[in-house]
Amino acid sequence: MRKINIGVIGTGMMGQEHIQNFNLLDDARVIALADTDDAMLAQALDMCDDTPSTSPDFEPLLSNPDIDALVIATPNFHHVEVLKQALESGKPILCEKPLCTNLQDTQMVVDTLADRDSVFQVGMEYRFKPALADMIARVDRGDIGTLHMLSIREHRFPFLPKVADWNRFNANTGGTLVEKCCHFFDLMRRFTGSEPISVMASGGQSVNHIDERYDGHQPDIWDNAYVIFVFANGARALLDLCMFAEGSRHSEELAAMGDKAKVECLLPQNIVTHGHRDTWAVDQHLIHVDEDILNAGYHSGATYFQNRAFLDAVSDKAPVVVTAFDGHRAVAMGVAAQLSAAENRRVEMKELGL
């Protein structure tokens, strides 16, 4: 079997998670790494099954004829700098979320790809969490009837340390509702099968990072929010986010309510429950995930299945699952929610030109 040669640009936490999961896939190997941080580069190099080339610059990976596909896992604000050149290489790309930190840049990516037959996937790992994939399948089959309400609750730990703690500031991340919550907004679109028309949000920074200073500046990244979207098909979706809730039984709880039934997903336990309106009975299912896959990262096994889908798209075995347009719309929802909370008002998506 011919292996697909992967070049990884950005070897921090997510870049390393990608490497660990490509190691588990028989038809892929990582042959090149790029990062400006020597310590991250050394850690990533130790993880690779083969001995890839290394570079402090990403440009050599774009021109390397031996590289079949690229993974972009640099800090959020750096995506656009890499993408402007990487898109011209013609190589298939898996770009970590968020696609970019603002709509001007995400629209640039969408426009650039519009007339090209290029493989481009956005790293929305949550779609690929096995328990969430099971929940999505139940909604798609109509097991709950028509979906009217979707509830997403994440109560978790604060943002993890990153190189130079770049993720402490809105300017670098796009804001919490872009950086963190684009995952959930992508799920909202996927579950409802519809586009958002308006949002009401309340959020802010209440606990985390307040006492930290970087070059004299206090972090401004938010650590909690409530967000409600209304969709064109009449469905409503709620996000309840708290990032100072380490002592939670389930870090993520999702519930989809239809006119016939309710289905829930509890993470990281990988539990799916199905509640029936007519009998009041609740069925519970534990979704099995192989231990090697679970241990290859922080996303309940999702990165393995996401990378499998990317390789299938590169090999023309399947279409891209999460497109640049999907990534653009998820960022748009985050931008609109941040605006709603900042200005304390309902925001119509058409205000953003959508």
Listed by start position, the domains of the chain span 4-124, 126-298+323-352
Token digits of residue 228? 């409600």
Domain spanning 126-298+323-352, CATH architecture: 2-Layer Sandwich (3.30)
SS percent in the chain: helix, strand, coil, step 5: 35, 25, 35
- pTM of the complete model: 0.96
CB 268 within 8 A of CB 252: yes
Question: How far, rounded to the nearest angstrom, does the alpha carbon of residue 153 sit from its chain's CA centroid?
Answer: 16
Considering the domain 4-124 in this protein, what is its CATH number? 3.40.50.720
Calpha distance 175→170 (Å, rounded): 4
pLDDT per residue of the chain (354 residues) written in tens, 0 to 9:
689 999 999 999 999 999 999 999 999 999 999 999 999 999 999 999 989 999 999 999 999 999 999 999 999 999 999 999 999 999 999 999 999 999 999 999 999 999 899 999 999 999 999 999 999 999 999 999 999 999 999 999 999 999 989 999 999 999 999 999 999 999 999 999 999 999 999 999 999 999 999 999 999 999 999 999 999 999 999 999 999 999 999 999 999 999 999 999 999 999 999 999 999 999 999 999 999 999 999 899 999 999 999 999 999 999 999 999 999 999 999 999 999 999 999 999 999 999
Which residue do the tokens 């519809």 mark?
194
Q: How many helices (H) and strands (E) does the chain have?
A: 12, 15
What are the strands of the beta sheet with 282-286, ordered from one edge? 282-286, 271-276, 261-267, 252-258, 147-155, 236-242, 224-231, 196-204, 347-348
Which residue do the tokens 């929010």 mark?
225
